Chains A and B, each alone.
Chain A
Amino acid sequence: MLTVQLAGCTTLILLCLGAPLAWWLARTRNPAKPLIEAIIALPLVLPPTVIGFYLLLAFSPRHALGQAWQSLLGTQLAFSFNALVIGSVIYSLPFVVQPLQASFSAIPRGLLEAAATLGAGPLDRLRSVVWPLARPGFVAAASLGFAHTVGEFGIVLMIGGNIPGETQVLAIALYDQVELLNYEAAHRIALGLIAVSLAALTLIYRSQQPWRRGPQRWL
């Protein structure tokens, strides 16, 4: 349950952060764009240990982020559920931003301009042009972000502290059982993860079948 909660929170935050960012990336001609795209893609390349190492330092009450968190909210950031959410947001960022950016880029600029000349306001254009066209992108971004967070392991191992009910996600619980040679318990967790992941992915792919889509889809 903790795993689903973590993946859910992370996906929600990522969609809120990722959508404007992806929209900006899809439209901008800013010379800094390649650098920003590279920064977003970094978690794809870097071993989770690099991110885990710096997060461990950053979350400590002796460093700025951990200190600010503690003085603002009164709780310690290190080894908390919130710390895992922050770590997962960074780790899964490219998996949400990239599909969104691709689907936004596929929306023809002319279509938006046409809608504008026909008198559609920004909100109306968002609702009647952008949303229907980018919806598969959102589905892909949300499911990839969710799935990738469920599959996260290295960062949690470094910054989680293995606290039941707070930071002990399924991947870590499974790892513990394997180390203890409790293969029966390990099988239960592993097979459960496989079944749930397979079901979720099948549902997502089913919703993306071409005959279920509208007439015009770019993804």
Chain B
Amino acid sequence: MVPGADAADRLTAPSGARRQSGTLLITLTAATREAQALRFRAFLLLLLPWTACGAEETLRIAVAASFRATLEKIVPRFESSHPARCRISSAATGVLYAQLVNGADFDLLLAADDQITGELVRAGLVRPEGRILYAYGQLILIARGASLQDATSARVAALVAGSSGRIALANPATAPYGLAAQRTLEALDLWQLTRGRRAVGQNAAQVLQYFLTGNVDYAFVSLGQWHNGGAGSGHSYWRVPQALYPPLRQEAVLLARSAHRPAASDFLHFLHSAEVRQLLLADGYGVEP
């Protein structure tokens, strides 16, 4: 487009050519030919990405928002040893489930729990063998200041009860980390007390964003999010004891209707590789021994 415009400029621009009609004619035809050639080359360029698309496989991966940052570190490692490319979409696990039930053409889903993946198997969208556990999630509560560092459950409960600041959690109806947060608040007898002080995010990523923009004082997110941008200076976190919420068994599934089953299956296997396990541990996730 730009080279074409350049040629068009030359049609009108040279004032010297306008004085002699012969020169003008030569400039005009030359410019037209040049523009035509350029247009053809531009057309070929437009075709290029299309042909490239046909040459390589693209895996569409749906991922729980809490795990997105970690997945973004896993994908380049996978792509460096595999011809397939990956495209990531993230939302709350329950939202992705609704999209899948309504026909979204994801090849893989990396959920933040094992409830939704179980539903997908029951619904026949996933074959039982296309379902693996890839990580154990860890729920944390983050706050400004060092107040939560090395705190006990009782201390945290007293702090939250005594504060008037808002607490953010993901929507318990769709996000597993939101449900874990609700269970934790209930276990600490804070659920009724914090009514009206709770800001509910669409997913764990929005919850972290509420906290990082300074709009809430407390936020329930995953430890993985803390290791990927949540660990601001002057923030502290409390690792919620496992006894306070049902375990976040994070499962990945391969959709039965996927058109890229071999590559998607390779990706599932890659999630169990030593390389990824190391990365998961570094991000605060638990893995199967």
Contact = CB atoms under 8 A, between A and B. Distances in A.
Interface of A: 56-57, 59-63, 66, 76, 78-79, 157, 161-163, 165-166, 176, 178-181
B198 A181 contact: no
B112 to A, nearest CB: 15
A181 B101 contact: yes
A61 to B, nearest CB: 6
A78 B98 contact: no
A79 B166 contact: yes
Given A162-B199, A163-B198, A179-B98, A78 B174 contact: no
Nearest to B215: A78
A60 B214 CA distance: 5
A60 B200 contact: no
Contacts of A178: 98
Consensus secondary structure, chain A interface: loop
Contacts of B101: 181
Interface of B: 92, 94-95, 98, 101, 165-166, 168, 171, 173-174, 196, 198-202, 209-210, 213-216
Contacts of B165: 76
A57 B213 contact: yes
A56 B168 contact: no
A166 B173 CA distance: 19
A165 B200 CA distance: 13
Contacts of B174: 176, 179-180
A157 B202 contact: yes
B167 to A, nearest CB: 10
A179 B168 CA distance: 20
Given A180-B174, A181-B98, A79 B215 contact: yes
A163 B201 CA distance: 10
Contacts of A176: 171, 173-174
B213 A161 contact: no
Given A79-B215, A162-B200, A180-B173, 12 more contacts: A57-B213, A61-B214, A62-B214, A66-B214, A76-B165, A161-B210, A162-B171, A162-B199, A162-B201, A165-B196, A176-B173, A181-B101
